[in-house]
């Protein structure tokens, strides 16, 4: 199967995955290459900047807008394993440039944003596949992260991909649409509320009896997973890309 | 003008001028002077909902509010009225001007005390009357709403507020599918500056632990007579 | 000089002592009863709203139309205000203008004094809470009696409202009963002997207690849901019937209405009257809606006044991004969906407007001088659930991020801050992959120290807030860019 043949994809690893969870972008490369894409990794890249943007530091976020444009501007497809980061690029980069009075940058940002995809969007909308040949025989529950559904607007694409995974048993997560409480710097500025929300989310996860919690954003997985681990719960977190990368020949 | 009044007047015009000045400064970034051109509204007003059976929908939605609906022919209204009043154990009823004579006769024949609002009843007096009978202006089926424009047969607003029982007689051709058509029907009355009251079920509150309690103020019992033909 | 005058009405709670959101939130979080009540309330209303919204086939078109209508009015507010004033005046209403709370309160008090009344009955009105009208009247010896059941509970309970629609949601039935038993008798008909905490009985006690006030009151004060500019028609949407009592029985009615409550024509009401009840209480229609256009001979109050209130709305209007907050029709759908509000309750937001709308409207109405207002835009995870349920499509999260930028500009205007220094460092790190690789030397080294372990509670500044309740995996010794360099060198730019 080679729906990706002829396509060059620039990988947007995201700063959090790059630094804290390289297994996720590695898994993303695996999946894309398995489907026939040529994957490149522009090393200049850094970050979508939302931790600056969403804390109100728009001037400080501007270098990330320039960096994204210069790292990815030459590519037809930019794919990132994060609804939150891709969402921020698409929703906020043009605005940041315009706010700074840099019209040419705003136009460039708009253009590259329109070619930026979250992983599940790319697989389903561009490659046209739902079954990526994955195999993951475990009980799994899925958390639709807020920014992936409300900013990147990925809809049910991650679920459709998960349903096609061989051997998987998908369990519904109660209160799935409720926020996990991370919210970037919210977890630092309002730690009590953040912890209350993360605790409720973790409890819902445990109630499913799943072995794994899957999501499209590592930040949320770190948040919920961190609570689960502190509470000595056996549920483990895993990223969507990692499940999709797992095959019978090379199981996760 | 005496000094105090002129001071008040000056404050009034100063406040008005200041608010308008601030507003104009706030929207100085809006270049287009014509509001409709500046912001088009993509909505078609007054559209019917497309309900297959508007009357059936109206009855269902009104009954959903726990208000009983009796469907009848014009000649049956007096009897239906009397039956509705009797079902609530009513002894006294206020009839607004414009209520048909046949209805008043039937109510009187049933042994109920009839009160009239001429000269106007005091609030205390109204508070002591068991029921009120009115016609209506418009019914909106989708939301189960009855609108009064307080014209003939409907009485001034206090009449449908203080008595505990309200019997409302509405004609089938007064019932439309939904709010947009309802507003269109009511627009002439509103533009003629008539007061209008919308009733959808009886008074209710969910303020205590979200437990819905019916009948706080306002009539606790509403019965509707839908006249066809 | 006389001794301190005895109060006519219960002394209310005060917003003054409430600290900034992060601290105030702790109080709400710790209150198990509040959290239970709130969770039950918001979950219930949330579900009802979904049902009622999905019944309407053109719900999304309605939301779009509502946003457009409100934007049209906002962007031409001077024109619409003048049109509304002219129409109301022609209909026999005396129109007043108030720059701020002081103006508005003085106007209402002056009317009461001119009429010789020492008490008024009130319909629930957010704007009168915003300007603290009741206390202004109390200071003039005029008693303002709340007649909405929840507002009555709040007033008798010496309390503060915690929700726009159900202000006493933080009280359970036992507490309501105690409040009624303790206080009702001081201000009118007492609660009946041996009253239980059964809601219907409590509502009946309120009905009796308030009816006496309705029947004798000569002046009422209301807010207003909408003013129709074309005709000068006022609209009030309610459930209990206390509104109709106040709007119909007294001789004088004063309506205090924010200048943003204008809609252009009668026809525009169809859009809002479809959206509001379904979005707020999750019903197809609220029990009573009153529409009146000036004075009607022999029917209702013969002396009508409307006070058009600014009180910061023009400031909100002046911000092209923030002005969308003025579309708000006070339905409270945003409160009911907000996971933060659900856990902390309304008081934590420090003003009569809590939740998402409070976080974007408050700092804009009042400005950023108060630290509590500077904290409000951060009282959100930016989850965006509110954006989806708002009937007038207010872009909450965009406005929140915009306000956060304004707060940062305010705080860093005169001097740098520690947080800014951190962000500037982050900006440098994230400006180029080489810088990030350099910064990652630290995390990779830490990974070398901790090994493949999870880190628990460590006394690291700032990070300790994260680690208080969560473990975190030790950072890896090899980053992704390292892996790529090692395994795929040459396949980049």
Structural domain total, chain A: 2
Residue A180 predicted with pLDDT over 90: yes
Residue C342 predicted with pLDDT over 60: yes
Q: What is the C-alpha to C-alpha distance for residues A77 and C264, in angstroms, rounded to an integer?
A: 47
> Does C81 contact B204 at a Cβ distance shorter than 8 Å?
no
Cβ pairs B/C, distance under 8 A: 262
Q: What is the C-alpha to C-alpha distance for residues B156 and B135, in angstroms, rounded to an integer?
A: 12
Per-residue model confidence as pLDDT tens digits over C77-136: 999 999 999 999 999 999 999 999 999 999 999 999 999 999 999 999 999 999 999 999
Under the banding of pLDDT at 50, 70 and 90, the label for residue C145 is very high
DSSP state of A166: B
Q: How far is C-alpha C67 from the geometric centre of its chain's CA atoms?
A: 18
Question: Is any Cβ of chain B less than 8 angstroms from the Cβ of C240?
Answer: yes
Answer with the one of A126, A147, A165 that is the final residue of a domain. Answer: A126
- Stretch A95-99: mean pLDDT: 98
Do C162 and C346 contact (CB within 8 A), yes or no?
A: yes
Q: Return the number of other C-beta atoms located less than 10 Å from residue C414's C-beta.
A: 6
- Stretch C141-162: mean pLDDT: 94
Which chain B residues contact residue C271 at CB under 8 A? 43
- SS3 at position C390: coil
Q: What is the C-alpha to C-alpha distance for residues C391 and C271, in angstroms, rounded to an integer?
A: 10
Q: Report the CATH number at residue C235.
A: 3.40.50.10420
- What is the predicted pLDDT for the residue at C1? 42
Under the banding of pLDDT at 50, 70 and 90, the label for residue C40 is confident
Q: What is the C-alpha to C-alpha distance for residues C71 and C302, in angstroms, rounded to an integer?
A: 34
pTM: 0.95
pLDDT > 70 fraction of chain A, expressed in percent and rounded: 100
- Of A63, A193, A227, nearest to C29 by CB-CB distance is A193
pLDDT > 90 fraction of chain C, expressed in percent and rounded: 81
Question: Is any Cβ of chain B less than 8 angstroms from the Cβ of C300?
Answer: yes
Residue C360 predicted with pLDDT over 90: yes
- Stretch A121-142: mean pLDDT: 98
- What is the predicted pLDDT for the residue at C2? 42
- What is the predicted pLDDT for the residue at C493? 43
Residue with the two structure tokens 């007043």: C96
Residue A7 predicted with pLDDT over 50: yes
Strand order, beta sheet including C252-258: C93-98, C303-309, C252-258, C219-222, C119-122, C143-146
Structural domain total, chain C: 2
Q: Is residue C437 part of a domain?
A: yes
Q: What is the C-alpha to C-alpha distance for residues A40 and B35, in angstroms, rounded to an integer?
A: 51
Under the banding of pLDDT at 50, 70 and 90, the label for residue C462 is confident
Q: What is the C-alpha to C-alpha distance for residues A44 and C432, in angstroms, rounded to an integer?
A: 6
Are A12 and A92 contained in the same domain? Answer: yes
The larger pLDDT score, comparing residue C364 to residue B209, is at C364
Q: What is the ipTM of this complex?
A: 0.96
Closest CA to C419 of B91, A60, B58: A60
Closest CA to B115 of B87, B136, B94: B94
Chain B neighbours (≥3 Cβ pairs under 8 A) are: C
Answer with the one of C313, C337, C358 that is the final residue of a domain. Answer: C313
Q: Which residue of C has its CA nearest to B199?
A: C288
- In whole numbers, what is the pLDDT of chain C averaged over residues? 93
> Does C97 contact B12 at a Cβ distance shorter than 8 Å?
yes
Closest CA to C379 of C355, C363, C399: C355
Answer with the one of C313, C347, C381 that is the final residue of a domain. Answer: C313
Which chain C residues contact residue A49 at CB under 8 A? 430
> Does B210 contact C45 at a Cβ distance shorter than 8 Å?
yes
Measure Cα distances from A136 to A54, A163, A187, C17 in Å: 36, 11, 32, 55
Chains B and C touch (3+ CB pairs under 8 A): yes
Q: Is residue C332 part of a domain?
A: no
Chain C neighbours (≥3 Cβ pairs under 8 A) are: A, B
Q: What is the C-alpha to C-alpha distance for residues C387 and C324, in angstroms, rounded to an integer?
A: 12
Q: What is the C-alpha to C-alpha distance for residues C430 and C263, in angstroms, rounded to an integer?
A: 47
Q: Is residue A93 part of a domain?
A: yes
Cβ pairs A/C, distance under 8 A: 210
Q: Is residue A79 part of a domain?
A: yes
> Does B198 contact C98 at a Cβ distance shorter than 8 Å?
no
Q: Is residue A132 part of a domain?
A: no
Q: Is residue C152 part of a domain?
A: yes
Q: Which residue of C has its CA nearest to B145?
A: C285
> Does C68 contact B156 at a Cβ distance shorter than 8 Å?
no
Answer with the one of C294, C313, C332 that is the final residue of a domain. Answer: C313
Q: Is residue A165 part of a domain?
A: yes
Q: How far is C-alpha C74 from the geometric centre of its chain's CA atoms?
A: 19
According to DSSP, the β-strands at B92-94 and B113-115 are parallel
| Residues of the domain holding C464 | 420-488
Size (chain B), residues: 229
- What is the predicted pLDDT for the residue at B29? 98
Are A150 and A95 contained in the same domain? Answer: no
Which pairs from A222-226 meet CB under 8 Å and 24+ separation?
A222/A16, A222/A20, A222/A182, A222/C470, A222/C472, A222/C473, A223/A180, A223/A181, A223/A182, A223/A187, A223/A194, A223/A198, A223/C470, A224/A143, A224/A180, A224/A198, A226/A198, A226/C466, A226/C469, A226/C470, A226/C471, A226/C472
- What is the predicted pLDDT for the residue at B7? 65
Alpha helices in C412-475 (DSSP H): 418-429, 433-450, 463-467
Which chain A residues contact residue C454 at CB under 8 A? 229
- Of B27, B61, B207, nearest to C153 by CB-CB distance is B207
Are C100 and C245 contained in the same domain? Answer: yes
| Residues of the domain holding A172 | 139-245
Q: Is residue C453 part of a domain?
A: yes
State the best of B58, B178, B217 to mutate against chain C, taking most chain C CBs within 10 Å. Answer: B217
Query: Taking the alpha carbons of C120, C125, C127, C132 in that order, is the dihedral positive or negative?
Result: positive
Please list the ranges in chain B whose pLDDT falls under 70: 1-12, 210
Per-residue model confidence as pLDDT tens digits over C229-257: 999 999 999 999 999 999 999 999 999 99
The residues facing A135 across adjacent strands are A166
Q: What is the C-alpha to C-alpha distance for residues C308 and C99, in angstroms, rounded to an integer?
A: 9
> Does C241 contact B216 at a Cβ distance shorter than 8 Å?
yes
Under the banding of pLDDT at 50, 70 and 90, the label for residue C349 is very high
> Does B30 contact C298 at a Cβ distance shorter than 8 Å?
no
- Stretch C476-488: mean pLDDT: 94
- What is the predicted pLDDT for the residue at B3? 56
B225: tokens are 């007579």
């Amino acid at each position: 199967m080679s729906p990706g043949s002829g396509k060059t994809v620039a990988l947007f690893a995201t700063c959090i995955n790059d630094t804290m969870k390289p297994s996720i972008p590695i898994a993303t490369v695996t999946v894309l290459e398995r489907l026939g894409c040529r994957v490149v990794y522009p090393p200049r890249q850094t970050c979508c900047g939302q931790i600056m943007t969403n804390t109100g530091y728009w001037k400080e976020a501007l270098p990330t807008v320039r960096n994204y444009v210069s790292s990815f501007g030459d590519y037809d497809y930019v794919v990132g394993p994060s609804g939150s980061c891709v969402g921020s690029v698409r929703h906020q980069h043009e605005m940041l440039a315009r706010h700074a009075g840099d019209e040419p940058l705003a136009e460039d940002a708009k253009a590259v944003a329109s070619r930026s995809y979250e992983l599940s969007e790319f697989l389903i909308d561009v490659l046209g596949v739902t079954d990526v040949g994955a195999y993951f025989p475990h009980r799994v529950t899925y958390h639709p992260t807020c920014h992936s559904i409300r900013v990147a607007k990925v809809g049910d694409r991650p679920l459709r991909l998960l349903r096609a995974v061989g051997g998987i048993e998908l369990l519904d997560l109660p209160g799935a649409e409720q926020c996990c409480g991370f919210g970037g710097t919210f977890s630092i500025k309002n730690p009590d509320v953040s912890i209350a929300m993360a605790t409720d989310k973790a409890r819902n996860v445990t109630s499913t009896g799943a072995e794994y919690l899957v999501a499209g954003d590592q930040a949320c997985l770190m948040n919920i997973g961190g609570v689960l681990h502190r509470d000595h719960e056996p549920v483990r977190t895993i990223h969507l890309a990692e499940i999709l990368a797992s095959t019978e020949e090379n199981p996760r | 003008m005496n000094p105090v009044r002129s001071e008040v007047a000056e404050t009034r015009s100063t406040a008005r001028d200041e608010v308008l000045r601030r507003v104009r400064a706030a929207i100085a970034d809006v270049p287009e002077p014509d509001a409709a051109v500046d912001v088009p509204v993509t909505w078609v007003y007054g559209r019917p909902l497309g309900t297959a059976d508007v009357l059936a929908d109206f009855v269902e939605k009104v009954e959903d509010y726990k208000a009983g609906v009796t469907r009848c022919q014009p000649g049956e209204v007096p009897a239906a009225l009397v039956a509705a009043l009797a079902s609530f154990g009513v002894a006294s009823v206020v009839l607004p001007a414009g209520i048909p004579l046949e209805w008043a006769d039937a109510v009187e024949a049933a042994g109920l005390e009839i009160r009239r609002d001429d000269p106007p009843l005091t609030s205390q007096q109204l508070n002591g009357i068991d029921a009120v009978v009115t016609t209506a202006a418009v019914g909106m089926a989708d939301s189960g709403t009855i609108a009064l424009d307080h014209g003939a047969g409907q009485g001034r607003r206090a009449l449908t507020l203080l008595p505990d029982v309200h019997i409302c007689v509405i004609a089938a051709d007064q019932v439309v599918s939904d709010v947009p058509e309802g507003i269109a029907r009511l627009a002439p009355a509103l533009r003629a500056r008539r007061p209008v009251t919308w009733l959808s079920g009886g008074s209710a509150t969910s303020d205590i632990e979200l437990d819905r309690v019916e009948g706080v103020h306002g009539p606790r019992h509403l019965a509707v007579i839908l006249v066809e033909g | 000089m006389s001794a301190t005058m005895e109060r006519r009405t219960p002394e209310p709670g005060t917003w003054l002592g409430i600290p900034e959101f992060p601290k105030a939130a702790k109080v709400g979080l710790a209150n198990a009863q509040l959290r239970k009540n709130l969770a039950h309330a918001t979950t219930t209303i949330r579900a009802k709203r979904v049902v009622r919204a999905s019944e309407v086939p053109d719900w999304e078109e309605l939301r779009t139309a509502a946003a457009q209508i409100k934007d049209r009015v906002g962007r031409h507010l001077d024109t619409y205000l003048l049109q509304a004033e002219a129409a109301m005046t022609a209909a026999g209403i005396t129109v007043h203008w108030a720059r701020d709370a002081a103006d508005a309160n003085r106007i209402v008090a002056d009317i009461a004094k001119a009429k010789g009344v020492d008490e008024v009955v009130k319909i629930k009105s957010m704007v009168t809470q915003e300007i603290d009208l009741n206390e202004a009247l109390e200071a003039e010896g005029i008693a303002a009696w709340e007649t909405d059941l929840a507002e009555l509970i709040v007033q008798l309970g010496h309390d503060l409202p915690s929700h726009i629609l159900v202000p006493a949601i933080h009280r359970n039935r036992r507490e309501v009963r105690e409040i009624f038993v303790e206080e009702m008798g001081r201000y009118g008909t007492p609660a009946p002997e041996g009253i239980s905490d059964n809601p219907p009985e409590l509502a009946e006690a309120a009905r009796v207690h308030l009816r006496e006030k309705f029947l004798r009151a000569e002046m009422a004060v209301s807010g207003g849901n909408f003013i129709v500019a074309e005709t000068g028609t006022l609209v009030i949407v309610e459930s209990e019937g206390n509104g109709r009592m106040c709007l119909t029985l007294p001789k004088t009615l004063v309506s205090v209405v924010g200048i943003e409550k204008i809609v252009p024509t009668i026809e525009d009401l169809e859009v809002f009257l479809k959206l509001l009840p379904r979005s707020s209480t999750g019903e197809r229609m609220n029990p009573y809606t009153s529409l009146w256009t000036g004075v009607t001979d022999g029917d209702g109050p013969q002396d009508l006044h409307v006070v058009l209130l600014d009180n910061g709305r023009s400031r909100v209007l002046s911000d092209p991004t923030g002005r969308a907050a003025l579309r708000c029709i006070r339905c409270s759908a945003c409160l009911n969906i907000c996971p933060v509000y659900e856990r902390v309750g309304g008081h934590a937001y420090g003003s009569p407007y809590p939740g998402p709308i409070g976080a974007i409207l408050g700092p804009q109405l009042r400005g950023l001088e108060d630290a509590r207002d500077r904290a409000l835009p951060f009282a959100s995870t930016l989850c965006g659930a509110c954006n989806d349920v708002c009937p007038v499509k207010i872009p909450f999260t965009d406005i929140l991020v915009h306000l956060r930028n304004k707060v940062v500009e305010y705080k860093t205007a005169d001097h740098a801050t520690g947080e800014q220094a951190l962000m500037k460092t982050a900006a440098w790190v994230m400006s180029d992959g080489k810088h990030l690789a350099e910064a990652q030397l630290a995390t990779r080294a830490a990974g070398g120290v901790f090994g493949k372990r999870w880190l628990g509670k460590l006394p690291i500044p700032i990070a300790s807030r994260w680690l208080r309740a969560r473990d975190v995996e030790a950072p890896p010794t090899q980053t992704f860019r390292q892996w790529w360099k090692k395994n795929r060198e040459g396949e980049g730019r």
